[in-house]
Amino acid sequence: MKNIVIIGGGAAGMTAAIAAAQNNRQAKVCILEHKEIPGKKILSTGNGRCNFTNEVMRPDCYYSEHPEVIRRVLEKFGREDTLRLFRSLGVFVKSKNGYYYPRSEQAAAVRELFQMRLDRLGVKVCTGMHAKYIEKERTGFRIHASKSPAAEKEPNTALKADKVILACGGKASPALGSDGSGYQLAKSLGHTIVPVVPALVQLRVKNHPLKKAAGVRTEGTVSIYEGKKLLGADTGELQLTAYGISGIPVFQVSRHAAKGIYDHRPVRAELDFLPEITEEEVTDMFRAYRKKRKGAGIAEIFLGMFNKNLIPCLLDCAGIRSGFRAGALDEELLGRLLKTCKHLPLKIEETNGFEHAQVCAGGVELSQIDPETMESSCCPGLYLAGELLDADGICGGYNLQWAWATGYIAGTAAKAE
């Protein structure tokens, strides 16, 4: 009987186990999970509601050094395959503007339904077990595991496996189980690791000019630049914090900043606080205020445009006193206001750490993986899935889709070969 051992019991690992165990009496499937329950990270997804896939499922919603591998994975297991999987588990699904959730909007229910399916299939789930290293043998693998990753003197448990699926996550949200140990396991078996940085994370600003507006939420566009090169941009609700900027648009572009910082390249953000209005329209609007409301203070004019707590910061950035009269605006001052409202530069000092990140950018190089099976080209019999790989998606269910897809492909291939 074939022994399939899956290291990591998150979204990818549980899906791999289900795929490997269903309709298969010729294999014993075991998950090694170092947290107290499998799927713990699922509980935090979608703010506890589990946004598990998206109606718009395109390869360009992901980043990687080998995007063609992402395309082939999504062609093999796409959104409709995920919906079928969830419905087979008993999850009623619903769409909110193309974002798919369980009808109950309870991530905990999704985790429980996955575990119930594992139990019914006879998958052995060993919680509190940490895989310390893996030996490749002539006819399979020997996995050395212990109850604690830090206990050097603790005796190891050795498990034999014919096939191994690495699905132990990245470094994001270490409190939920992603400790980065999978990178070393993959590296020890011959894989190259693309440098790993936080993604879908907040950005920290040097000499933050908007610090006094901490707590303000406002519509805007955030763009990340390296010199004059635009790396990425997104529009939505920005959140200003005491240390920098946050919100979904910031998360969407944060991986570009993180990569630049890792490579010691100077990156900056530009904020557009009036993304729905062109520069020409903003200029015309200010000129009209200068003519029709020349006795009004600039702060008074801004009150109908921006959050009251944001206005003093914007005027400081433009170098204009709050009591300055609109009628005194010359073209030079008007240009400064325009730049502040449409192109406010912020120097990105760093991202928040992995403990605040939703996912990682970087990981096991995808050119070393067969997208038809997720099998390693460096180590036959080894399969890799989930966040461990060099693929990170934008917000909206894309990273979970990657986990379901790669896990299901790996589990199906491991039992068949």
pLDDT tens track for 219-242 = 999 999 999 999 999 999 999 999
Nearest to 404 by CA among 126, 50, 119, 103: 50
Separation between Cα atoms, residue 157 and residue 145, nearest integer Å: 5
Instruction: Return all residues near 119 (Cβ < 8 A) that are at least 6 apart.
Output: none
- Check residue 175 and give its pLDDT: 86
**What is the identity of the amino acid at 1?**
M
Separation between Cα atoms, residue 414 and residue 11, nearest integer Å: 17
Structure tokens at 126: 């060993």
- Check residue 388 and give its pLDDT: 97
Question: Taking the mean position of all CA atoms in its chain, how far away is CA 84?
Answer: 24
Angle between helices 107-121 and 11-21 (to 10 degrees): 30
pLDDT digits (tens, 9 = 90+) for 184-213: 999 999 999 999 999 999 999 999 999 999
Average pLDDT over residues 355-362: 97
Phi and psi at residue 150, to the nearest 5°: -95, -15
Q: What CATH class has 2-198+362-416?
A: alpha beta
Structural domain boundaries of the chain? 2-198+362-416, 202-352
Nearest to 378 by CA among 361, 366, 393, 390: 366
161 burial (CB, 10 Å; 0-12 / 13-18 / 19+) is: buried
Structure tokens at 150: 């830090």
- Check residue 9 and give its pLDDT: 97
Radius of gyration of the chain (CA): 25
Q: Do domains 2-198+362-416 and 202-352 have the same CATH topology?
A: no
- Check residue 392 and give its pLDDT: 98
pLDDT digits (tens, 9 = 90+) for 19-77: 999 987 788 999 999 999 999 999 999 999 999 999 999 999 999 999 999 999 999 99
DSSP summary character for residue 379? S
User: Does domain 202-352 correspond to CATH entry 1.10.8.50?
Assistant: yes
Residue 231 backbone zone (phi > 0: left; psi -120 to 50: alpha; other: beta)? alpha
Nearest to 50 by CA among 407, 408, 401, 384: 401
Q: Is the pLDDT of residue 295 over 70?
A: yes
Q: Is the pLDDT of residue 363 over 80?
A: yes
Q: Is the pLDDT of residue 324 over 90?
A: no
